[in-house]
Amino acid sequence: MGPAADTGDEYRAVHGGRHGGCAVPAAGDAAAVSARTAGQAKRVADFSAKQVNLTWLFLPTERDQLKAARPDAKFEETQGIGGYIYLRTDKPPFNDKRVRQAIYMALNRKAIRDAISKGEGVPEQLYHVGYPWARQVKDLPQAKYWEYNLAEAKKLLAAAIGEGKTIETTWEHADAAIYTQAYVDTATLAQAQLKQLGINITDVTKPYAQYISTTYQGQYEGMGHSPRAVAYWLDFVTERFTMKPQRGRINLSYVNDPKLEELMDKQRGQFVWEERLQTVRQIEEHVAEEQYEIYFSTDTRTYFWDSNIENYRPTAWFPYTHLMKAWRDA
């Protein structure tokens, strides 16, 4: 839950025009000036007061505030990819998939959505449910793991670590400066839910730069939490799960699974879409069973811009907006 990378940037377009038949921001005294703002409340206030001309993303609470404050503004929404928990599957206790499955079933995603995004969003999986070819979680054979079932989760955990035993671990994540308060609140709510399961978590909050340079490089123990970007290439799963010839760039769960490696190698060499899709679905189901990464829910992301800003649209793909192609009419 939470946007993939909310930099807090808003933009004040001084002037713009079209050059050579293509839309570009004007240069020099007509430059688009980026003004970093601090915090969601200030971002809402700045656009409401027309201090900036267009915005980065807003989640539902701030979206509704801006709709009321700026009925003249244009806006567009897109479903954002859900964030996830990664965990050290190369070490006890998270090397036991029953522990990971128990975590999945102990998370009340609906309660988190109700608290953070006005109930909007749907459960997320490895292949972003916004892809036209990906399955919704409810259509996966392993859909039961996404259903909140604390009693069943406790049975799984007891079978894995012993009746009456608990897990002590850490959860590392960035602060709210870049990823927004919704991201931090997701961690807080999820940690409280997992305590009911019997997992006692010590929260470790790091400044963004420190988090990216340590935890997000795989330098952590226990659990971590990150947003995701929507990949625009199909083989993004390899960098998430491979150990060949070394740990993939974002194989933060330290997955080492020969069967999964075989499937990833197979799909990479398939050039007939119908054939590759069948392999992709095997990967989809294998990861849904093993629960190497624990996914939250999608979120609704809304972007606003002044009525005289043209050709500005959000996308589901990073970097989510196309400022370089936008201009302001007089």
Task: Determine the average pLDDT of the residues in 99-109.
Answer: 98
What is the extent of the structural domain holding 319? 9-80+299-328
Are residues 102 and 208 both part of a single domain?
Answer: yes
Quickly state the pLDDT bin for 17 (edges 50, 70, 90): very low
**Residue 74 in domain:** yes
1 belongs to a structural domain:
no
- Residue 289 is which amino acid? E
Question: 323 and 220, same structural domain?
Answer: no
Question: What pLDDT score does 9 carry?
Answer: 52
The two three-digit tokens of residue 126, written as one number: 């490895």
pTM: 0.84
Shared domain check, 117 and 45? no
pLDDT at site 22: 29
CA distances from 104 to 16, 54, 136, 219, 292 (A): 49, 38, 16, 23, 10
Q: CATH number of the domain that 154 lies in?
A: 3.10.105.10
Q: List strand residue ranges (DSSP E) for the chain, in order.
A: 9-13, 16-19, 22-25, 32-36, 74-80, 84-87, 167-174, 199-206, 223-226, 293-295, 299-305, 309-310, 327-328
Count of domains for the chain: 2
The pLDDT tens digits of the residues spanning 129-150 come to 988 899 999 999 999 999 999 9
Domain co-membership, 216 together with 285: yes
Letter string b/e over residues 18-34, b meaning 16 or more CB atoms within 10 A of that residue's CB? eeeeebebbeeeeebee
Same structural domain, 195 and 135? yes
d(CA 103, CA 169): 13
Supply the pLDDT for residue 127.
Answer: 96
Residue 92 within any structural domain of the chain: yes
pLDDT at 4 (0 to 100): 38
Q: Which residues pair with 80 in a beta bridge?
A: 299
pLDDT at 89: 98
Question: Greater confidence, 8 or 321?
Answer: 321
For residue 24, pLDDT beyond 50: no
4 versus 306: which is more confidently predicted? 306
206 and 57, same domain (yes or no): no
Highest average pLDDT, of 17-31, 73-87, 159-173, comes from 159-173
Question: Is 195 inside any structural domain?
Answer: yes
Q: Is residue 168 domain-shared with residue 226, that is, in the same domain? A: yes
Range 271-292 average pLDDT: 98
Higher pLDDT, 114 or 34: 114
Q: How much is the mean pLDDT over the chain?
A: 87
- Please report the pLDDT score of residue 329 as a whole number: 82
Residues 119 and 69 occupy one common structural domain: no
Residues 314, 201 share a domain? no
> Sorting pLDDT into bands at 50, 70 and 90, what band is 50?
very high
Nearest-angstrom CA–CA distance, 240 and 260: 11
The reply to whether omega before 227 is within 30° of 0 (cis) is no
Query: Confidence class of residue 13 from pLDDT cuts 50, 70 and 90?
Result: low
CATH number for the domain harbouring residue 48? 3.40.190
Q: Are strands 74-80 and 199-206 parallel, antiparallel or unpaired?
A: unpaired
Q: Do 287 and 306 lie in a common domain?
A: no
Residue-wise pLDDT tens digits, 197-231: 999 999 999 999 999 999 999 999 999 999 998 78
Residue 4 located in a structural domain: no
Q: Are residues 128 and 236 in the same domain?
A: yes
Question: How open is the CA angle 158-163-168, to the nearest 5 degrees?
Answer: 70
What is the reported pLDDT for 322? Answer: 63
CA-based torsion, 316, 317, 320, 325: positive or negative: negative
Contacts of 248 (CB under 8 A, 6+ apart): 238, 239, 240, 241, 242
Examine the domain organization and report whether 166 and 275 are in the same domain. yes
